[in-house]
A and B are shown apart, each in its own frame.
Chain A
Amino acid sequence: AQSVAQPEDQVNVAEGNPLTVKCTYSVSGNPYLFWYVQYPNRGLQFLLKYITGDNLVKGSYGFEAEFNKSQTSFHLKKPSALVSDSALYFCAVRDFLGEYGNKLVFGAGTILRVKS
């Protein structure tokens, strides 16, 4: 079965420093990977995705992620963190199995706290 793991419940970083939110995946076949961000009491906002092509994917709000097939990872990164980046981040993988092949399997989520 398709799955993703976010090994850190929380990541703390100082404003202006680079940030990394980790995600590893386990899939059958080629992975379709996604990052979403959730602010308190809101739905999820799409940040970026990897389907094919360049391993370095650039997304919204200055975020990027690197697809690493050998390490089965898709870590989310940003060169310089902002306090406003503080939120809950979800990694997800498309589940090609089952009746409808466009379901998403989510990780447990990682809380990012950026301190000024």
Chain B
Amino acid sequence: GAVVSQHPSWVICKSGTSVKIECRSLDFQATTMFWYRQFPKKSLMLMATSNEGSKATYEQGVEKDKFLINHASLTLSTLTVTSAHPEDSSFYICSAYLATGETQYFGPGTRLLVL
């Protein structure tokens, strides 16, 4: 149980284009999902907290207009990197919060490469 999927697992795009990443909780409902960014050999950096039916809460320094987050249902949150640039290349990981176990479960991650 408590499986979280992400799609796509890999994406390569040209600079200036937008990329959408999906995060789904497959066997539970998650009122809260989180989006992280991870640099090589580094810990996770929380980008934003996504709550179903309301606006996302962004961490300090994260541009909300660049990283659009939508949490339209209890099992799906999306992160759209708008007008992507090479510096946005990174490993993006989502998690879904299972309230009954008070635990975050993580997706497998999405590797983004912007050329």
The answer to whether A34 has its CB under 8 Å from any CB of chain B is: yes
- Are A41's CB and B34's CB within 8 A? no
- Are A46's CB and B105's CB within 8 A? yes
- Are B93's CB and A41's CB within 8 A? no
- Are A106's CB and B43's CB within 8 A? yes
- Are B102's CB and A51's CB within 8 A? yes
Chain B residue at minimal CB-CB distance from A9 = B41
Stretch in B64-72, B80-88, B106-114 with 4+ CB within 8 Å of A: B106-114
Contacting residue for B103 out of A46, A90, A107, CB 8 A: A46
> A42-B109, A43-B93, A49-B103 given as contacts; is B6 within 8 A of A100 (CB)?
no
Q: Interface readout for B28-58 with A: 1 if CB under 8 Å, 0 if not? A: 0000101000000011101001010000010
Question: B40 to nearest A CB, angstroms?
Answer: 11
- Are A100's CB and B57's CB within 8 A? yes
- Are A102's CB and B107's CB within 8 A? no
Chain B residues near A99 (CB-CB < 8 A): 49, 57
- Are A43's CB and B106's CB within 8 A? yes
Contacting residue for B111 out of A41, A103, A109, CB 8 A: A41
State which residues 38-53 of A face B: CB under 8 Å.
41-46, 49, 51
- Are A32's CB and B43's CB within 8 A? no
A-B pairs, 8 with minimum CB distance: A43-B106, A44-B106, A43-B108, A43-B109, A106-B43, A43-B107, A43-B93, A108-B43
Taking A41-B111, A44-B106 as known contacts, 14 extra A-B pairs with beta carbons closer than 8 A to each other, sorted by chain A number, are: A42-B108, A43-B6, A43-B95, A44-B95, A46-B103, A46-B106, A49-B103, A90-B44, A99-B49, A100-B57, A102-B97, A106-B44, A109-B42, A109-B43
Which residues of A are at the interface with B, using a C-beta cutoff of 8 A?
32, 34, 36, 41-46, 49, 51, 90, 94, 99-100, 102-104, 106-109
